[in-house]
């Protein structure tokens, strides 16, 4: 295990050390100390590293991640794991707005709560939130799964495409074109796997599933009042 002190090396210094690791490096496990809520920590990683961040992080931690497993032992600011391609980002605390925004793949786990716009425009990522999520989450969500073990705020899944949403608690309201859908066996099976990957003990059968009614996929003037 190797350690980097962000206070000494700065964000660019930390990121460059991780970017420049040789492909055959044995230094696969890194601990970043003193993150001090700085932005863009461990963004753009492109190697199967384990990166543990000991403290809170600012915006875009783990942004565009590929292959790396990033663990934040604290809270995360706006856009954690935004546009992630693969790998894992695990936030032990809470996350701010737009967690997992536009992410294409990988797994984002937030043990605590996530704020508004969680999973906005998600394009294939799996997101599991142990607590609750704020309003406008999964807005225009295209693909992937969003699992919420607590409650969801207003306008969940507004203008959603093909993403699947699972919520255990209450949903304040559903957004345009988002409806509750039947929870079939294959969904329970998928959900069980997602919960297991996020090390959750929740029971899949306690969740409800939401997705697109697909009524706004092609414009129809009679649906104009849905917006």
The residue ranges that bind other proteins (CB under 8 A) are 11-12, 15-16, 19, 39-40, 43-44, 46, 58-60, 63-64, 66, 78-79, 82-83, 85, 97-98, 101-102, 104, 117, 120-121, 123-124, 139-140, 142-143, 159, 161-162, 217-219, 221-222
Closer to other proteins at the Cβ: 201 or 218?
A: 218
Closer to other proteins at the Cβ: 13 or 189?
A: 13
* Shortest Å, Cβ 198 to other proteins: 22
Closer to other proteins at the Cβ: 68 or 149?
A: 68
* Shortest Å, Cβ 199 to other proteins: 26
Closer to other proteins at the Cβ: 88 or 159?
A: 159
* Shortest Å, Cβ 92 to other proteins: 21
* Shortest Å, Cβ 175 to other proteins: 13
Torsion of CA 24, 69, 102, 93, to 10 degrees: -160
**Sign of dihedral through CA atoms 24, 126, 79, 4?**
negative
Residues in CB range of 39: below 8 A, 6 or more apart: 11, 57, 58, 59, 60, 61, 77
């Amino acid at each position: 295990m190797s350690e980097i002190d962000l206070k000494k090396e700065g964000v660019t210094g930390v990121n460059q050390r991780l970017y420049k690791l040789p492909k055959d490096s044995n230094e696969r496990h890194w601990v970043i100390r003193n993150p001090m809520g700085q932005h863009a920590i461990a963004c753009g990683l492109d190697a199967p590293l384990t990166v543990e961040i000991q403290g809170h992080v600012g915006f875009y931690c783990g942004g565009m991640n590929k292959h790396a497993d990033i663990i934040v032992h604290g809270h995360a600011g706006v856009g954690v794991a935004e546009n992630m391609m693969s790998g894992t980002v695990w936030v032990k605390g809470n996350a701010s707005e737009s967690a997992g925004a536009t992410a294409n793949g990988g797994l984002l786990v937030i043990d605590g709560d996530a704020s508004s716009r969680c999973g906005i425009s998600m394009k294939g990522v799996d997101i599991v939130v142990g607590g609750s999520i704020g309003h406008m989450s999964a807005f225009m969500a295209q693909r992937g799964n969003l699992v919420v073990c607590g409650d969801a705020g207003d306008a969940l899944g507004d203008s959603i495409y093909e993403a699947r949403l699972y919520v255990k608690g209450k949903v304040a309201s559903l957004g345009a074109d988002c409806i509750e859908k039947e929870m079939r066996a294959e969904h329970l099976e998928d959900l069980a796997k997602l919960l297991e990957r996020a090390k959750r003990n929740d029971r899949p059968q306690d969740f409800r599933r939401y997705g697109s009614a697909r009524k706004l996929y092609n414009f129809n003037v009679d649906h104009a009042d849905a917006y």
